[in-house]
Amino acid sequence: MLGLFSPEEAMIYALAAPLLGMLGIMLADKAPNVREGITLITAGVTFYLVLIVFNSVAQGARPEVPLFEMMPGLSLSFKLEPLGALFSLIASGLWIVNSLYSIGYMRGTNEKHQTRFYMCFALAIVAALGIAWSANLITFFLFYEALTLSTFLLVTHKGDEKAMRGGNIYLGILMGTSIALLLPAIVLTYVLTGGGDFTEGGILAGSLDEHSWVVMGLLALYMFGIGKAALMPIHSWLPNAMVAPTPVSAFLHAVAVVKAGVFGVMKVALYIFGTDFLSQSGANIAFIWIAALSILLASAIAMAQDNLKARLAYSTVSQLAYISLGAMLANSMGVMGGSMQIAMHALGKMTLFMCAGAIYVAHHKTLVSEMSGLGRKMPITFGLFFIGALSIIGLPPMGGMWPKFFLMVGAADAGQLAIIFVLALSSVLNVIYLLSIPIKAFYMAPDNHHGLAEIEPPPWRWSDREEAPFLCLLPPLLTAVGTIALFFLVGDLYKFLSPLIGGA
């Protein structure tokens, strides 16, 4: 079944399939059913192809596909390693889920320009796959910018003043940091080492004195230059991107775009600096603390947000900093925790976003304070929200528990005991700002914003439900089941990712 194409072919086809799909979507502009059919088929085919690639990596292969030689020593080429394979699998798998959800949401809210919407989505997937598989910094940078540009139209989808302002901040910060900081970092790396290939163990070790201030400067350029990682203070584009339709927030701003950022951070830490070099240089300590601050501050800000999507966005900023933290701990358990968080957070946060969208589709409510008592009308939605929230908080039996576990071990290994406390405190904050939402929905009276229900409500009946359309419910159900499944599958995931930390 998976032997139809060689992994190299599958990579090329997986990148080409969404582009072809995009063409089909454009041609089927006037026939929405055909158009959505093409989207789903394209997503399915892409996922199948990525699965082939993933499978080959699991068996130890490292397929390579060189495309163009842009400059001597600078080529556009792809090379796989476990982290990229994992990221591509998550992105393409969740694209299917999200396409289903988009159909329910976009039709449920009668959005305009739906053809453009699906086309940009397909383009964003190509960019995300390109990032996941990039063999060197320049390829990464190319697709990184492509992802920014293709998602810009999605962020400004509504086209009104507010969307344009959000879009400007989005583009300004992401493009600004990438050109002003990331590009010089890449060129510096190129000048220092004569290349920019992602290589196991890093490439800087031989060409730079580890105690030189250049290491610190270069690391800062990378950490803040990869703005998609949303490390504070480069995070404000993410809440502003919430003006986009919810499927965009769910998929791009919980999975593809932000994960591309932290994935980049992880890649740079592992394959450019190398964890040994990084931990010996001591430059990572400052960033451990910036990430820790980011975790706590963003959680604190999230608590003050009444708009559900804004609250989730700040929660994302906080959760992304876990991955940066894992990369900066620069030891095997930290890297493992950070890498797992890429997968776990994707499923959990996407569940939450899709529930938020379902609430909007069914009842047009966006503020947490309006959601009192809504659980009676939308028990399934809030039930799924509860599961997603538990995973983000990091409670068993949800997959979200494992990254926190590994990160704490990593922090202990790195001798940063205070970080363990930070992680624990963050989980407490998560409990407050996430679990308060389903509690409010289930236990409070609809028109009472403060106290519990004063009068005993009539007994609940199945017919009380006013849920969102089926296609807005099935996708979060799938991802919620996914978070539970990953709790039990963690052994396989660990084995798959172990080459990152030098294991077989």
Using the rule CB under 8 A, which residue among 2, 26, 183, 293 binds other proteins?
183
By rule CB under 8 A, what string of x and - marks binding of each residue 403-422 to other proteins?
--------------------
Using the rule CB under 8 A, which residue among 19, 45, 58, 146 binds other proteins?
146
Q: With binding defined as CB under 8 A, does residue 216 bind other proteins?
A: no
Q: With binding defined as CB under 8 A, does residue 494 bind other proteins?
A: no
Q: How many residues bind other proteins (CB under 8 A)?
A: 27
- What whole-number distance in Å separates Cα of residue 289 and Cα of residue 110? 45
> 2, 264, 287, 292: which is closest to 137 by C-alpha?
264
The SS3 of residue 22 is: helix
Q: Which stretch binds other proteins (CB under 8 A): 47-55, 145-153, 450-458, 479-487?
A: 145-153
- What whole-number distance in Å separates Cα of residue 138 and Cα of residue 74? 7
Cβ closer to other proteins: 66 or 396? Answer: 66
**Nearest distance, CB of residue 479 and other proteins, angstroms:** 33
Give the phi and the psi of residue 447 in degrees, each rounded to 5.
-95, 0
Using the rule CB under 8 A, which residue among 37, 108, 184, 446 binds other proteins?
184
Q: With binding defined as CB under 8 A, does residue 76 bind other proteins?
A: yes
Q: With binding defined as CB under 8 A, does residue 27 bind other proteins?
A: no
Cβ closer to other proteins: 190 or 442? Answer: 190
Q: For residue 427, with 0-12 CB atoms within 10 Å meaning exposed, 13-18 middle and 19 or more buried, which class applies?
A: middle
Q: With binding defined as CB under 8 A, does residue 459 bind other proteins?
A: no
In the block, residue with structure tokens 């998929």: 251
Using the rule CB under 8 A, which residue among 29, 64, 145, 210 binds other proteins?
145
- What whole-number distance in Å separates Cα of residue 230 and Cα of residue 238? 7
The 10 Å Cβ neighbour count of residue 69 is 11
CA angle 168–266–498, rounded 5-degree value: 145
- What whole-number distance in Å separates Cα of residue 355 and Cα of residue 386? 10
DSSP assignment of 235-247: -THHHHGGGS-HH
Q: With binding defined as CB under 8 A, does residue 187 bind other proteins?
A: yes
Residue 446 per-residue DSSP state = T
> 330, 267, 289, 351: which is closest to 88 by C-alpha?
267
**Nearest distance, CB of residue 401 and other proteins, angstroms:** 39
Cβ closer to other proteins: 147 or 295? Answer: 147
Q: What does the radius of gyration of the chain's CA atoms come to, in whole angstroms? A: 22
Using the rule CB under 8 A, which residue among 16, 27, 70, 417 binds other proteins?
70
Q: Which stretch binds other proteins (CB under 8 A): 48-56, 170-178, 252-260, 282-290?
A: 170-178
Which residue type, as a one-letter code, is found at position 298?
A: A
Q: With binding defined as CB under 8 A, does residue 37 bind other proteins?
A: no
Q: With binding defined as CB under 8 A, does residue 142 bind other proteins?
A: yes
Using the rule CB under 8 A, which residue among 19, 58, 149, 293 binds other proteins?
149
**Cα–chain-centroid distance for residue 478?**
17
CA angle 444–448–449, rounded 5-degree value: 85
Q: With binding defined as CB under 8 A, does residue 173 bind other proteins?
A: no
Cβ closer to other proteins: 191 or 452? Answer: 191
- What whole-number distance in Å separates Cα of residue 330 and Cα of residue 260? 19
Angle between helices 332-363 and 490-497 (to 10 degrees): 130
Using the rule CB under 8 A, which residue among 10, 97, 123, 138 binds other proteins?
138
Q: With binding defined as CB under 8 A, does residue 188 bind other proteins?
A: yes
What are the tokens at 40?
């789903």
What are the tokens at 489?
């599958």
Cβ closer to other proteins: 51 or 153? Answer: 153
By rule CB under 8 A, what string of x and - marks binding of each residue 50-69 to other proteins?
------------------xx
Q: With binding defined as CB under 8 A, does residue 190 bind other proteins?
A: yes
- What whole-number distance in Å separates Cα of residue 356 and Cα of residue 35? 25
Q: With binding defined as CB under 8 A, does residue 308 bind other proteins?
A: no
**Nearest distance, CB of residue 188 and other proteins, angstroms:** 6
Q: Which stretch binds other proteins (CB under 8 A): 188-196, 331-339, 365-373, 388-396?
A: 188-196
**Nearest distance, CB of residue 181 and other proteins, angstroms:** 8
- What whole-number distance in Å separates Cα of residue 277 and Cα of residue 267? 14
Q: For residue 289, with 0-12 CB atoms within 10 Å meaning exposed, 13-18 middle and 19 or more buried, which class applies?
A: middle
Q: Which residues bind other proteins (CB under 8 A)?
A: 68-72, 74, 76, 138, 141-142, 145-146, 149, 153, 159, 164, 171, 175-176, 179-180, 183-184, 187-188, 190-191
